[in-house]
Amino acid sequence: MNKKPKNTPETLRKKNKSLAEKVEKMEALIEDIKTARMWSETRLQNKLEELEKSNEDLSGRNQELERLIKNTGKVRTRLENQLNKLKKEGPLPPAVSAAAGEKDVNGKTRELEKAFQKRKELERIISDSPAIVFLWHATEGWPIEFVSDNIRQFGYRPEDFYFRRLHYASIVHPDDLERMVTDVNRYNREGRVSFIQEYRIITRSGDVRWLEDHTWVRRDASGVITHYQGILLDITERKKAAEGLLQAEKMAAIGTMAASVAHELRSPLGVIKLAVDNIDYRLKKKDEKLKMSISYIDQKVWEATKIINDLLNYSRLGEPVLVKTDVNALAEEALSNVIIDFPDHDAEIVKNFGKVPGLMLDHTQMRGVLQNIIKNAFEAMEKDGKLTLTTKFVKHANKAEISVTDNGCGIAENNIEKLNKPFFSTKVKGIGLGLALSFRIVKENHKGEIAVKSKLKKGTTFTVKLPL
């Protein structure tokens, strides 16, 4: 007979260790069970949410289907009523009677299709025309109820207005909006049924376009204005042509005036010049005051002669004599000629000449343009200013650029666009023809342009852009 083992300390230690390991495994198993339960509950919850969402979708679709069925029933009832009405008006031909309902429906369908096609055709005609058709509410901002698809020529879509992301007043040029609103209010007070306005709008890309607005007023039964309807025409090119004609007329007037001034003043100025030279030659001993007076008269005669020459040059811009010209050499020559006239100016001169192909230019005219721009730069700077003369070839634009940059007083932003206008000047001296003549030479005789960037008290950059 086996004897029962004794509970020795060693035996008890082993039993305790074994029991502890079992407890530890049990705890780990419990944790695994908890984790698995949580994971199962989470998945179950997600599945329940998905089912609820599916039920909602199905419910929505069922409601939509019921609505469609209901509407279809209404249409069917309406068609049947129309058919019964036709039957009451007179018997249908026997050959048609059996299929009367179907033919009546098909006939109505064809009529609707024809009407729809006719509307599409009218919309296409309008969209292909230059006239934009509009209808807007007579409320603040003029919200648009309808605008034809060709509003896209200005970068806008009809939907931009239909969903009230934009209203018509928001695209009218800010400088014209107040005048436009004032005129509309006045026309309404006068009881007009229609009116015409001209104003500017700003396109989606930021361009400015002129519009001619033909508007008709719509009123309700009580006479209250509810809508404005009409057409819009882009007249930007017409405006430019009118400005060009006005400019041409102005040039003709300047030419006539210049010829008259030249005839009347050149002779007496020539006599004064000869007299001053004769006095200067004959007076062997001249005191300082007399010398200054003679020099002053001579200077004023030169200034008056220059004004006459500027008038004649601007009004009678001659045909260019185009020859292949080294742009860098031309810029260097113009700079050297101007520096001679400013011997006391201690400006720092920086030259950044690039590799530029030879251009077909009128050497004399373009040298005068550059000299005029450089001269203005010197006059705008202090004596210790900095002038940078840059030439480069812009390959992607196939153009040469000549830039004159100074760190002078700068030009006010609202004056930059006036620089090409005759008789506009910010200087104390001069009548404002130098830059205007430069703009004309570059644009009309060389098919180029002059770009101007400036900041007050920071400086100015004139860039002459010439095509190859």
Q: 385-404: per-residue pLDDT in tens?
A: 899 999 999 998 899 999 99
pLDDT at 98: 46
Checking if the pLDDT of 303 tops 80, the result is no
Give the position of tokens 């760190």: 407
If you ran DSSP here, which 8-state letter would residue 443 be given?
I
pLDDT at 63: 64
pLDDT at 70: 59
Close Cβ partners of 290 (under 8 Å, ≥ 6 residues apart): 283
For residues 458 and 426, the model is more confident at 458
Checking if the pLDDT of 345 tops 60, the result is yes
Helix/strand/coil percent split, the chain, to 5: 60, 20, 25
**What percentage of the chain has pLDDT greater than the value 90?**
29
Give the position of tokens 């153009």: 399
**What percentage of the chain has pLDDT greater than the value 70?**
69
User: In the predicted model, what is the mean pLDDT of residues 238-255?
Assistant: 75
User: How far apart (Å, rounded) are the C-alpha atoms in residues 425 and 436?
Assistant: 10
Q: 274-297: per-residue pLDDT in tens?
A: 777 777 777 766 677 777 777 778
139: amino acid identity, one letter? T
Distance of CA 324 to the CA centre of its chain: 37
pLDDT at 432: 66
User: How far apart (Å, rounded) are the C-alpha atoms in residues 105 and 403?
Assistant: 76
pLDDT at 92: 47
pLDDT mean across residues, the chain: 79
For residues 252 and 321, the model is more confident at 321
User: In the predicted model, what is the mean pLDDT of residues 11-34?
Assistant: 72
Q: 93-140: per-residue pLDDT in tens?
A: 444 444 444 545 556 566 666 665 665 665 565 556 678 888 888 888
Q: Which tokens is 228 given?
A: 């404005």
Close Cβ partners of 79 (under 8 Å, ≥ 6 residues apart): 101, 104, 105, 108
User: How far apart (Å, rounded) are the C-alpha atoms in residues 70 and 365?
Assistant: 82
For residues 229 and 75, the model is more confident at 229
Checking if the pLDDT of 417 tops 90, the result is no
User: In the predicted model, what is the mean pLDDT of residues 419-429?
Assistant: 71
254: amino acid identity, one letter? I
